[in-house]
Amino acid sequence: MSYTSGYLAPEAGALLIDTGSMNSILDINEEDMTVTVESGCTWDKLQRALKPRGLRALAWGTLSGINATVGGGMSQNGVFWGALGGTVVDAALSFEVVLADGTILSTGSNFFRPFGPDITGLFAADCGALGVKATITLKLVREGTAFSYGSFSFPDANAFFSAMSAIAREGLASESFGFDPYLQAQRMKRDSLTKDAKSLVNMMKAQGSVLKALKEGAKVVAAGRSFLDDVPFSLHLICEGRYQSAVDADMKAIEAIAVKHGGKPIENTIPKIMRANPFPPVNSMVGPEGERWVPVHGFLPHSRLVEAWDRIQALFEANKAEMEAQGVAAGAMLAAVNRSTCLIEPVFFWPDALEELHCRSLEPSHLAKLNRFPANATSRAVVDRLRKEIVRIFRDLGATHLQVARTYPLEEASDPRAWTLLRAIKQTVDPQGLMNPGSLGL
Amino acid sequence: MEILAPQDDLALAAITEAVGAEALITDAAERAYHSQDVFSTGPTVLAVFRPTDKDMLARGIAAATQAGWPSSRGVAA
Ligand SMILES: Cc1cc2nc3c(=O)[nH]c(=O)nc-3n(C[C@H](O)[C@H](O)[C@H](O)COP(=O)(O)OP(=O)(O)OC[C@H]3O[C@@H](n4cnc5c(N)ncnc54)[C@H](O)[C@@H]3O)c2cc1C
């Protein structure tokens, strides 16, 4: 489910390892609050096993989790569910990794990290350059039993970022994400409201509260989606905790911050529906009309968000004519990642042919409804160039990234001594350079 | 099925011996499908290895690298 050439070999004739058949949950240890899975286990499968026990992983997956694996998450890192607990590798305790010579290395203790220098951390986010993860042990936490949801509209990027950062600094929300005006409009084209409400009702029914389910479902339908019609930027937040009074109080505190920064409360339909169905079909890997889709992202400290945003918008402005001529459009997903960091993720859409990977990943009923565009190398070249220019802007601002693979310049961003150390480690675990050559730039 | 270049045959035979033919996919369409991600299509892989557990994964990787898999090629997870 990735898009940074992480498993695309530099030359024909490579052996591809598909971990999809190694998908067992090996051990749920409720006493020690750890879970061990095979690396091909999906986040969705893990969550379905843990939820009935009132448990979840500390960070519990990416939105692609219906297909995306725990091994993929540990290898290129990721962030979405449980973001208050960190990125997904922050949930890792230990791995068993198969090295290039076929030996199996255990990265350390399966209940505490780090015991000495952090070997688990070394293999985390390695984009497969150092070995193939076979098993993974993660930290468990109790899933919340009380939730509060909030959505806010902001007139412009400045107001949006200052509110998102202020809320993040307080550590109030378990998840905090937003959309720029373009992505907001795309989402509205995409989702069918009745389907959303149904999925919410089903989910709540499954949890045993039929009456509450019907009430919530009715509320979502009554709210409709017109509340989002004139929303420029939207911010969506979830508070997860033990007591309703506590999460409601946290949401009140969030609202006060949002309003102070120029935000306006709107219906909280989006976070409610997303939390009820955390790993939906990956239909959003193409645009609502069947266009191709690709994101590019950077993590930045709060202090550099507005500058990054303005520079990216200036880039789009300077390329407006060409983008319009080639049918290239861009929106952005924005999210708080922890108390000091937020994510800016521009997302491109352009008319181009779908590949086999898209056709197999989308729901067949959704695929059948889409336009099919002919292959379009010219538009794609524009996207490719703009994506690279955005990576440059992020580099200038000292951004960090998930999904480094063959797309983000890790060497250039590293202290030369740190890079030499990394090369030495690669040389030790893979002296012939056979393991995913070129990934991470190694 | 497709014919593989002779030097690749050698490595593939070693892996097949180590993990069994059922864990390997060499069908052209499947190889093409496994050679793309959401954004890009890369050079086509020689085979797809689908291990069913840790030990088979380790055996397959050992066989692939010991058979002198050309170093310019490599293993992608
Ligand atoms: C619709 C959609 C929604 C998404 N939502 C999010 C989101 O909310 N947050 C987010 O961060 N990302 C998101 N992504 C991006 C992507 O899905 C995630 O990064 C995810 O973690 C990829 O997991 P995967 O199992 O598909 O990994 P793959 O794409 O198979 O692999 C990714 C990388 O990890 C390596 N790798 C995989 N397994 C192993 C292993 N066992 N051992 C060693 N290396 C390995 C590969 O070599 C490659 O470099 C989304 C993508 C899509 C299409």
What average pLDDT score do residues A14-38 get?
97
Of the pLDDT bands very low, low, confident and very high (cuts 50, 70, 90), residue A192 is: low
Paired strand residues for A295: A347
What average pLDDT score do residues A313-328 get?
97
Rounded Cα gap, residues A63 and A187, in angstroms: 14
> For position A215, what pLDDT does the model report?
75
Amino acid code (one letter) for A273:
I
Over 60: is that where the pLDDT of A18 sits? yes
pLDDT in tens, A140-177: 999 999 999 999 999 999 999 999 999 999 999 999 99
> For position A213, what pLDDT does the model report?
72
Q: Which of A22, A99, A135 sits opposite B51 (nearest CB)?
A: A22
The architecture in CATH of the region B6-76 reads: 2-Layer Sandwich (3.30)
Q: What residues of A are in contact with residue B15 (Cβ under 8 Å)?
A: 15
> For position A418, what pLDDT does the model report?
98
Classify A153 as helix, strand or coil. Answer: strand
Paired strand residues for A42: A69
Residue positions counted in chain B: 77
CA distances from B34 to A67, A184, B28 (A): 14, 32, 10
Q: Which residue CA neighbors atom 2 of ligand 1 most closely?
A: A64
Sequential DSSP letters for A381-423: HHHHHHHHHHHHHHHHTT-B-S--TTTS-HHHHS-HHHHHHHH
Over 90: is that where the pLDDT of A226 sits? no
What average pLDDT score do residues A91-99 get?
98
H-helix or E-strand containing A298? strand A298-301
> For position A416, what pLDDT does the model report?
98
Answer yes or no: is the C-beta of A71 below 6 A from any ligand 1 atom.
Answer: yes
Answer yes or no: is the C-beta of A76 below 6 A from any ligand 1 atom.
Answer: yes
Do B61 and A100 make contact, defined as CB atoms within 8 angstroms?
yes
H-helix or E-strand containing A178? strand A175-179
Do A433 and B71 make contact, defined as CB atoms within 8 angstroms?
yes
CA distances from A125 to A113, A114, A129, A257 (A): 16, 16, 9, 34
> For position A417, what pLDDT does the model report?
98
What average pLDDT score do residues A316-332 get?
96
Answer yes or no: is the C-beta of A337 below 6 A from any ligand 1 atom.
Answer: no
Task: Report the range of poorest mean pLDDT among A291-295, A337-341, B11-15.
Answer: B11-15
Task: Report the range of poorest mean pLDDT among A98-102, A291-295, B73-77.
Answer: B73-77
> For position B1, what pLDDT does the model report?
21
> For position B73, what pLDDT does the model report?
41
- Measure A250 CA to ligand 1 centroid, in angstroms: 32
> For position A396, what pLDDT does the model report?
98
Answer yes or no: is the C-beta of A23 below 6 A from any ligand 1 atom.
Answer: no
Report which of A239, A126, A228, A213 is spatially closest to residue A182, judged by C-alpha positions. A228
Of the pLDDT bands very low, low, confident and very high (cuts 50, 70, 90), residue A203 is: low
Q: Which of A18, A134, A135 sits opposite B48 (nearest CB)?
A: A18
Tell me the nearest-neighbour CA distance from B28 into chain A, angstroms: 12
> Which atom, in ligand 1's list, is nearest to the CA of A361?
53
Q: What residues of B are in contact with residue A22 (Cβ under 8 Å)?
A: 51-54, 57
Of the pLDDT bands very low, low, confident and very high (cuts 50, 70, 90), residue A197 is: low
Reported ipTM: 0.93
Answer yes or no: is the C-beta of A293 below 6 A from any ligand 1 atom.
Answer: no
What average pLDDT score do residues A28-51 get?
98
Do A17 and B54 make contact, defined as CB atoms within 8 angstroms?
no
Do A14 and B73 make contact, defined as CB atoms within 8 angstroms?
yes
Rounded Cα gap, residues B56 and B50, in angstroms: 9
> For position A323, what pLDDT does the model report?
97
Of the pLDDT bands very low, low, confident and very high (cuts 50, 70, 90), residue B6 is: very low
Of the pLDDT bands very low, low, confident and very high (cuts 50, 70, 90), residue A411 is: very high
Q: What residues of A are in contact with residue B13 (Cβ under 8 Å)?
A: none
- Measure A38 CA to ligand 1 centroid, in angstroms: 15
Domains and CATH numbers, chain A: 19-142 (3.30.465.10), 146-276 (3.30.70.3450), 283-396 (3.30.300)
> For position A189, what pLDDT does the model report?
73
Percent of chain A with pLDDT over 90: 86
What average pLDDT score do residues A13-42 get?
97
Residue-averaged pLDDT of chain B: 81
Residue ranges of B 56-75 with Cβ closer than 8 A to chain A: 57-66, 69-75
> For position B15, what pLDDT does the model report?
92
Q: Is A427 on the interface with B (CB under 8 A)?
A: no
Residue-averaged pLDDT of chain A: 94
Of the pLDDT bands very low, low, confident and very high (cuts 50, 70, 90), residue B75 is: low
> For position A58, what pLDDT does the model report?
98
pLDDT in tens, B30-53: 999 999 999 999 999 999 999 999
Over 60: is that where the pLDDT of B68 sits? no
Q: Which of B5, B15, B75 sits opposite A434 (nearest CB)?
A: B75
Which residue of chain A is at minimal alpha-carbon distance from B4? A13
What average pLDDT score do residues A325-336 get?
97
Q: Is B8 on the interface with A (CB under 8 A)?
A: yes
Rounded Cα gap, residues A41 and B35, in angstroms: 21
Q: Which residue CA neighbors atom 38 of ligand 1 most closely?
A: A72
Q: Is B14 on the interface with A (CB under 8 A)?
A: no
| Domain limits, chain B | 6-76
